[in-house]
Structure 1
């Protein structure tokens, strides 16, 4: 066989191999698309301590817009001392009338006794964190007084919930757990803006809780 014919044969074999590889990749892509990628939180079950009481779908507090990625958790405080998780959830629901033309909601509200109400599915955005609504999960936290400091039982539950969210979505509490203040410079959550050392301690507690949850899972 001449050198030219041998070279053409090698080129033809390479071309056939590349075509075969392309067919396999295309078939895989078709199957993947047919199955549907879904949303990051699709099929995720929340912890037992979370009570789901979803808002009705409406333009003001639950628009039903898909949450297509989760890059962070945003911590808020309700700003209304001594109010309960249920009262704050009901406030979000009241916005559905549109009378006040106010956009507000949160995925979770953590109450004064450590109770947790989920207002928005994790597959949808909440109106809580302005330009970060599209890629974050929001937690509103109740507090007993004007300082905005969380009570011990509330604090522990927020740590637990935030750690679970970080584990679920592969987040780093050092960089991906933020305050509303870090998005808009609004003084929220107030105590943890005015006391940055307390905020650093919170994120460290979340990291430690992640390790604990991993160890017992």
Structure 2
């Protein structure tokens, strides 16, 4: 009897050891499966997140960049408040805006749009921002809508412009980049200066302030854009 009990205990120990090995193997398998699932989900989310940037690159592979200003592409994180990723139906116009934040840079305004994703309840963005040093930042692919121009969001590209003071007037560097960017976009999308409008022309909002307060300056801007269009077309034909 004593011998049988010892044998029984040995069998029990062996059985328990095998069970522990089975449980450990199962735990490792479950952990591996969980890691695989997490990796797949992360990869899909990354692909979705980067999709806009990839689409922007694909959409622009055949673009003639001659005549374009240097563009710092910093696409906003997809979110419901500033980059909803709605498809732009067509490009029938270019809308000029101003930041209404005197002295702020293009980067600061880009960061503001980016920060809206955190749920402030404010809906706002623009495709481009022209800064105080003439720098150009792109926030939204030109294949997507920006929350900028109200009823014309679905068929226009928006340009936000930085200004030094409350008057809304532009320094030489900002103005030159505004003209160059607007002219190049007109050439790219087969538009003319009649398709270049102010936010004011859509909603009556005093935006861009200087071009609303000074109609002559607005007309001169459009003449300068017209000259730039001719210059870029000549360069691209060359």
In the superposition, the TM-score normalised over structure 1's length comes to 0.79
Q: Larger radius of gyration, structure 1 or 2?
A: 2
2:172 maps to 152
Compute the displacement of 1:48 (Å). Answer: 5.6
2:48 maps to none
Q: Superposed, which structure 2 residues align to 1:45-194 within 5 Å? A: 45=63, 47=68, 49-98=70-119, 100-173=120-193, 175-194=194-213
**Distance in 1 (alpha carbons) for counterparts of 2:224 and 2:181:** 12
Q: Superposed, which structure 2 residues align to 1:13-28 within 5 Å? A: none
Q: Deviations over 1:164-211 (max 9, x none)?
A: 0000001111x1000000000000000100000100000010000011
Higher share in helix: 2
**Distance in 2 (alpha carbons) for counterparts of 1:170 and 1:141:** 23
1:215 partnered with 2:237: no
- 5+ long unaligned stretches in structure 2: 1-54
- 5+ long unaligned stretches in structure 1: 1-37
The RMSD of aligned alpha carbons is 1.7
Compute the displacement of 1:42 (Å). Answer: 2.6
1:43 maps to 60
Aligned residues: 177
Identify the range of structure 1 (44-53 vs 54-63) with the bigger mean alpha-carbon deviation. 44-53
**Distance in 1 (alpha carbons) for counterparts of 2:203 and 2:172:** 27
Q: Deviations over 1:91-117 (max 9, x none)?
A: 00010111x200000000000000000
Change (3 A) 1:182 1:48: closer
**Distance in 2 (alpha carbons) for counterparts of 1:197 and 1:133:** 27
1:28 maps to none
In the superposition, the TM-score normalised over structure 2's length comes to 0.72
